[in-house]
Each structure stands twice: as structure tokens, then as C-alpha cells.
Amino acid sequence: MQSLKRLPGYRLTEHNWKRIAIDYAGILIGVTMVAIGLDVFLVPNKIAGGGVSGLAIILHYLLRAPVGTTILVLNIPLFYAGIKILGVGFGLRTLIATIILSLEVDLFASFAPVITHNLLLAAIYGGLLTGIGMGIVFRFRGTTGGTDMIARLVHRFTSLTVGQALLIVDFIIIAIAGVVFNAELALFALINLYINTRVIDLVQEGVSVSKMAIIISDYSEDIAAAILGDLGRGVTGLEGEGLYSGQKRQVLLCVINRVERGKLKDIINGIDPKAFVIMADTHEVLGEGFKRHQVF
């Protein structure tokens, strides 16, 4: 996001202050969940599931260095990149989130209970908790630093999701953990990493509850009228042309929920059984008839 100084005429109105307060509250909640996941599940079981936190866990067992303090030290060189490319506001969020995470990890380590020493349970629940926390932090335009920041930079300039970018970068760190600890712990770290990245994407993108339908038919007007009348859904007509036949047709675009999928297929089949239909999952639909626009 742009820094406040780059926005001409930008003023910190009451609405803007409220938005900033919500952002930092969300970041605090997310960071706290990450810290708990590290102290309760991952650090005690030597599961270095990637990221700067994974490196910090490795160094903790090699040098007896506090995990939280190590996270902060490792993140310092990365702040400049975030501020330079993503703006002062983004860098400030990252700085605050990383400091809070470092303090909470070392603080919670003194009294946090170790719920399980079962490596599989630790990998699963550690991945769930840290994934939810990191997803919340990302959703409120922050990071916990380290490879999270690298992933956001990759996400900004490529088609990769944040979770996919993290998966690639963190795989290297897990390989290092496998050498330092053992191959079995690296395998559990891979499980943790997979769960973590999937949960991050789920928190950011939401559960797929809608379907997008693209309909190509010689009877597009009749199908559109039936969708509008029977389903009560809006339909958009797009101008299309078959490049093989050279025939111009109207392509219909419609978004429905899962419950309406069967009825839409019945409508199309009843009017034109030969219609060409594409249905795809949509992770998030904003606007009338679906989810309201929200500021995150």
C-alpha cells in the first residue's frame, strides 16, 4: 500500500483513524496467535516450519538463543526492503508486529504449557494456530517480518498467492532444519508448513461458497431472462466471437451460490441442452446479493 505521505491531500479523518485502529487491533490478535502457536506446539517439539521463526528455532537449539529475540534480530535487515517497496505504512506495521511477536514469544515461553509432545499433533495444531494468526495479520495489511515479508513482495509482483510464495521460500529453511535436527522432524515440519500455508490462504481469501458461470448459447437472451426471473440473479452479457466459425454470440456471466447451482443447470438444460457452460469456484464475491464491501 502507499504511504500516507504519497497520497495527495490525505488527511487523517475520524474514519481513517478508526481504520488504522482496526488494522492494528487485527495485527495484535494475529501476532498473539502466532506467538502461542510457536511456544505451545512448535518450539518445544523442534518443528521448524519455515520462516524466520524456523531459523530462530534452529538457532535456539544450537546456541540457546531466545527465540523471540532471534526473530527480531534476523528481521532487522528486511525492514528496509518493506519500507522501500511497500511504503512507510507497511514498514511500520511490520516493525510493530515483529516487535510484539518477539516480546510475546519470549514472554509466553516462561509460562506457556506444552500441550503435547506428539509430533504429528504439534505439527497440525501449530500449523493451524500460526496459519490463522498470520492470515489475520496479512489481511490487516501487516506481516510478522522475515519470509512473510518476502512472500508479500513476491505476491505483489507475481500471480502467486502469499501462501504459495511462503511454501517455496520456507521449503529451503525446512531442508536446513532437516540437516541440523533429523529427517523425521523435517517431515513433520513439512506437514506443519503445508497446513500453515493452506490456512493462510483460507483466512485471506475466504471459503469458496459461490460459483461463477460462463454460458455460451444461441438462446442467451432466453437463458438470461430465466436466470433473472427464476433465480433473481443478475446476468452480464459480453460480446463474444467464435474464432473458428466467425459467428458472434453473446456470452453470459453469472455468479450464484452453491445451492443455486443445480437450478441454474436445470434452467440452461431446459432452454438449450447444447449450451456450452463453464462453472468455477470463486473465493470472494463482493457486491449486491453477496458479501458487503469491507475495509481490511
Separation of alpha carbons 95 and 81, rounded Å: 12
Give φ, ψ of 284 to 5 degrees.
-155, 130
**pLDDT, tens digit, 9 for 90 and up, residues 265-288:** 989 999 999 899 998 887 666 665
Q: What is the dihedral of CA 100, 104, 105, 106, to 10 degrees?
A: 110
Task: List Cα–Cα distances, 61 to 36, 48, 103, in angstroms.
Answer: 19, 11, 19
**pLDDT, tens digit, 9 for 90 and up, residues 176-212:** 999 999 999 999 999 998 898 889 888 877 665 678 8
Work out the mean pLDDT of the chain and round it to a whole number. Answer: 83
Q: What is the pLDDT of residue 88?
A: 64
Domains annotated on the chain, with CATH: 11-205 (no CATH), 210-282 (3.30.70.120)
Separation of alpha carbons 33 and 104, rounded Å: 10
Q: What is the pLDDT of residue 130?
A: 94
**pLDDT, tens digit, 9 for 90 and up, residues 10-24:** 455 556 788 888 889
Task: List Cα–Cα distances, 49 to 127, 163, 196, in angstroms.
Answer: 8, 13, 9
